[in-house]
Structure 1
Amino acid sequence: MTTTTPQTPDPGGAEQAPPAPARPTRVIHTEATTEIPVHLLFRDDPDPVSVQLRPAVVGRRQGTGEQPRLRRPVPARARPVPHVDPDLVERPARVMPAAVGVLAGAAGAAGCAATSWWAGTMPPAVAAALGLPAAGAAPGPALWAAYAGAGALGLFGVGGLARGRTGRAWVLGMFGRYRGTVRRTGLMWVNPLLLRRRVDVRLRHWRSEPMPAADGSGVALRVVVLVVWRVRDTARAVLAVEDHETYLRVCVEAALARVPVEMPGAAKPAVDAAADALTRLVAADATPVGLEVFSVRPVRVEYAPEVADVMHRRRIAALDAQHRASVLTSVVDSVEDTVTRLTMRGLVALDDHERKVLVKDLTVAFCAGRAETGH
């Protein structure tokens, strides 16, 4: 029997409000939820700031029903660039026409002649030819100062005369400081107090000695490469490294250690790809020191001495196996053609046993005949 419990009215005469419904429990007890404020989802800024979005990689676990997760892209590591003084850049040096040096030399010679006449050391015949009266001053500091000044002027003028050639340049320096580069040709006057270093700026070809390398399988090779290059920035080529030619050779060796080189019998695209990779690596390493590399191409590729004998025997074995396979194919075709003709024309009637015996005898005969003829 069911018993009904009557509701008890409150003292004010109003009925008691029913209790609030309970908050529903979570269906997934193993998952944690996070409340997101609504004002963050729907922001209405008067002047929104544009944000540049970066591409992201979306990863999702299969079979779990989870939402995709965004992963930050990993930046590629840049190759380290050799440290070179950024202020060390080629700039033209200040030079003067050759007439300045010639005039200074002539003025110095004239000053020495005038001082000699003043001192009375000039021969009388020369003084008479020049129409100069006889003079004879007593030697003193003024006389020696005049000699020193005239001689220094003459040496300074004549010693600064220089001749520039096509394809050659001078890197000038004074007291360890770079003062500029001279690329002019012809006769000119350069300060004789400056230190001159001649640099060849023509297009040059360098054929290397055999260098160690490896092919795609890791077999040791010896490679001779032809490098086409030139000096583009004379200041960096002379002052940034001790010897830019040695630096270029080391760059080529480092590139050969990273790029696999194929033998001459390989496909042309593989050979071209190796040459392009070598050129790109060497050019990237040589650019900071003022060198411009146009191409690096292998011109001779051979096996290293320690693996040459093994590879030679392997090559002979491969050729022998190929020859044996071709001979066997030819013999089988000849035997098949002979048996087919005999049976198709009705010359002989053979059962399975007789056919096997005939095939065996013909195979032995054909093989012996080819061995005797050497084919």
Structure 2
Amino acid sequence: MNEKNIGKINGFLGLLLLLLCAAMTVISFNQFVLSENFIWLLSAILCALITILLLSGLTIIQPNQAKVFTLFGSYLGVIKHEGFWLTLPLTIRKTVSLRVINFNSDKLKVNDLEGNPIEIAAVVVYKVSDTAKAVFGVEDYKEFVHTQSETGLRHIASQYPYDNFNNDYEISLRQHSDEVGDELTKDLQTRLGLAGVEIIEARIMHLAYSSEIAHAMLQRQQAKAVLAARKVIVEGAVSMVKSAIDQLSTEGIVELDEEKKAQMVNNLMVALVSEKGSQPVINTGTIY
């Protein structure tokens, strides 16, 4: 069922017609009382019925709201334009909000691509774009959004690893939140199209390892950080040692054979790479 607009006219014009019909009802009834002519009574009854019908056709639409109209079980249409309107009488109306809605999912415990248990939650921003589908396509579109959002979040979380430790994957949940959010938005839009809902944005708002593996994963992250730092230190030390030996040889400060070069490289590498401060030993020569 697709959304369609229902016919309407300005409500103040309808109110004017209602007052005219009400006045005609009073006038016709007074003429019947004075003349006892049943034609005036029929006229009064007809005007009264028209007045009641006009009264039931008046409706007010608030900003960023819509009203869906049904008549004896048949879908007639929707009014989205704010204001005071006169439309078909005797209809049943259901108000649907067109405002942007912010929904925070519960923290879910799921397994990532590598099977690690993680905690994840998301914020979903959406609004109703098709009122007919929102009202008639599902039982309760808000509840439908909540349920499908959790289902979609579980699905997306299982498609990526929590972290990309060994660069085996292009995208990870922790390092590529924007890319993961875009995929979550697309997935939810596919799931919620049935309810006439437009997903404006979906982003991960909470991400953490589950408590049973959090300590072990923290140690793994710390070890990776230490390893990366040591790699940088070693690369810098090698460059400095090479530069020192080349400068000593170029300027002729000291003549070094291969054995002395190896010893100097060893001493410099220990001094530069060691985490503790080194104690220099000064060779003063042989004492007799």
User: Could you state the TM-score of these two structures normalised by the residue count of structure 2?
Assistant: 0.65
CA–CA distance in 2 between the matches of 1:292 and 1:351?
73
Alignment match, 1:102: 16
Task: Find the partner of 1:217 among 114, 118, 132.
Answer: 114
Of the candidates 62, 71, 75, which is equivalent to residue 178 of structure 1? 75
Partner of 2:104: 208
Code of the residue aligned with 1:89 in structure 2: it is N
Deviation at 1:196, TM superposition (A): 0.9
Equivalent position amino acid for 1:302 in 2: L
Q: Does 1:188 align with 2:188?
A: no
Q: Distance in 2 between matches of 1:93 and 1:346?
A: 97
Tell me if structure 2 keeps the 8 A contact 1:263–1:301.
Answer: no
Distance 1:237 1:365, change over 3 A: closer
Q: Give the Å deviation of 1:238.
A: 0.4
Partner-residue secondary structure (3-state), 1:173: strand
Task: Please state whether the residue corresponding to 2:96 is helix, strand or coil.
Answer: strand
Instruction: Return the match for 1:288 from 194, 202, 206.
Output: 194
Q: Kindly tell me: are residues 187 and 116 of structure 1, through their superposed partners in 2, closer, same or farther at Cα, counting changes over 3 Å?
A: same
RMSD: 4.3
The residue number in structure 2 matching 1:263 is 173
Aligned length: 257
Match of 2:58 in 1: 161
CA contact (8 A) 2:107 2:206 kept: no
Q: What SS does structure 1 have at the residue aligned with 2:84?
A: strand
TM superposition shift of 1:283 = 2.9
Find the structure with the greater CA-based Rg. 1
Determine which structure has the larger helix proportion and give its number.
2
Cα 1:189–1:324 change in 2 (3 A) is same
**CA offset at residue 346 of structure 1?**
5.4
Cα distance in 1 for residues equivalent to 2:187 and 2:142: 16
How has the CA–CA distance of structure 1 residues 361 and 95 changed in structure 2, closer, same or farther, with 3 Å as cutoff?
A: closer
1:252-283 residue CA offsets vs partner (Å, 9 max, x unmatched):
322222233533534x9xx54x4554344333
2:222 is aligned with 1:316: yes
1-structure distance, mates of 2:27, 2:214: 78
Whole-Å separation in 2 of the counterparts to 1:248 and 1:278: 13
Distance 1:229 1:187, change over 3 A: closer
1:93/1:350 CA distance change after superposition, 3 Å: closer
Q: Secondary structure at the match of 1:265?
A: coil
TM-score under structure 1 normalisation? 0.53
Q: What secondary structure, in the 3-state scheme, does the structure 1 residue paired with 2:173 have? A: coil
SS in structure 1 at match of 2:78: strand
Question: Does the 8 A contact of 1:105 with 1:157 survive in 2?
Answer: no
How far is 1:171 from its partner?
0.8
Which residue matches 2:208? 303
CA contact (8 A) 1:227 1:296 kept: yes
1:172-229 CA distance string (max 9 Å, x none): 1244443332345543223453221112346x36453365466543442524244455
Pair 337,90 (structure 1): closer, same or farther in 2 beyond 3 Å:
closer
Compared CA separation, residues 154 and 277, structure 1 to 2 (3 A): same
What letter is aligned with 2:138?
A: V
Q: Which residue of 1 aligns with 2:147?
A: 250
Q: What's the counterpart of residue 347 of structure 1?
A: 254
| Aligned AA (1:242) | E
C-alpha distance in structure 1 between counterparts of 2:194 and 2:220, whole Å:
45
User: 1:208 corresponds to which letter in structure 2?
Assistant: N
AA partner of residue 331 (structure 1): A
- Structure 1, unmatched stretches of 5+, are 1-87, 120-134, 138-143
Offset, 1:324:
1.9
Tell me if the contact between 2:60 and 2:84 (Cα under 8 Å) persists in the aligned partners.
yes
The answer to whether the 8 Å contact 1:240/1:289 transfers is yes
Identity %: 18
Partner amino acid, structure 1, of 2:175: G
Q: What are the Cα deviations for residues 38-62 of structure 1, in whole angstroms up to 9, with x where unaligned?
A: xxxxxxxxxxxxxxxxxxxxxxxxx
Contact conserved, 1:168 with 1:198, CA < 8 A, in 2?
A: yes
Provide closer, same or farther for how the CA distance between residues 153 and 319 of structure 1 changes in structure 2, counting only shifts above 3 A: same
CA 1:322 to 1:109, structure 2 compared with 1: closer, same or farther past 3 Å? Answer: same
In the alignment, structure 2 segments of 5+ residues that lack a partner are 161-171, 279-288
Query: 1:334 and 2:240 equivalent?
Result: yes
**Aligned partner letter, 2:154:** A
Per-residue deviation at 1:330?
2.8
Counterpart CA distance in 2 for 1:193 and 1:315 is 67
For CA contacts below 8 A with separation 6 or more, give which structure has more relative contact order.
2
